[in-house]
Amino acid sequence: MARAYDLIVFDWDGTLMDSTAHIVNSIQNACRELALPVPDRKSASHVIGLKLDQALHMACPGLDAQQHQALTQAFIRHYRSNDDGVALFDGVREGLGALQQRGLFLAVATGNSRVGLNRLLGETGLGPLFDATRTVDECHSKPHPAMLLELTDQLGVQTARTLMVGDTTHDLQMAQNAGTHAAGVAYGAHHPDALAGFGARIIAGDFAEFMAWLLPLVD
């Protein structure tokens, strides 16, 4: 049987890297620092995956331009000052290696900045595993389909033979908008109940479960 996919596109935060709690804490701590209303964990985690400007507007609505600029700067400071404990989810490095060995194209579509993603790719050593990446510095924010459409065009892969993997509704909606397949993971920013109904072929409880589902489709 011919394999189902030629390109697997991964979200970063909450899908490959266990950074959800760190991002939520950074948003909340930035608000506390500026004496702004602090969003609860659900509200702060819901915006993960979006472009930073858009995410902070949604998590902390009603701010004027000066307050929003100060919040953005405070978030970046908190995010960069205490991310030593952020790590890849178990099995990610080995799983990506197994997919690369099978000759699949691998890519990243993330709400991170280009500088931020490049730093993370270097620190984790995952950079050489990916054939292409897109960030919000080059494309519209999720759920706009631009990231996926640019990646499939660059790598010469049909959208019907592309799988988007993510932990948020933004990821799954982007896949729908681009006409690709989607797989959800239930261990990231959005509750698995929120991921239901977006056409995901699987909502995996951990990365090992995702790999066990995917490998028979690409062998």
Q: Is the pTM of this model over 0.85?
A: no
Nearest to 42 by CA among 27, 32, 29: 27
Beta bridge mates, 184: 166, 203
Helix or strand holding residue 119 (H, E): helix 114-124
Per DSSP, the residues of 32-52 read HHTTPPPPPHHHHHHTTTS-H
Instruction: State residue 18's pLDDT score.
Output: 85
Instruction: State residue 86's pLDDT score.
Output: 67
Instruction: State residue 82's pLDDT score.
Output: 65
**CATH says 7-18+87-218 is which class?**
alpha beta
Instruction: State residue 83's pLDDT score.
Output: 59
Sheet of 181-185: strand order equals 132-134, 105-109, 7-10, 162-166, 181-185, 203-204
| Helix-, strand-, coil-residue percentages of the chain, each rounded to 5 | 50, 10, 40
Successive 10-residue mean pLDDT values, the chain, 219 residues: 92 89 84 88 79 84 88 85 73 96 97 91 94 96 96 98 95 97 90 87 95 96
Positions annotated as catalytic residues are 11, 13
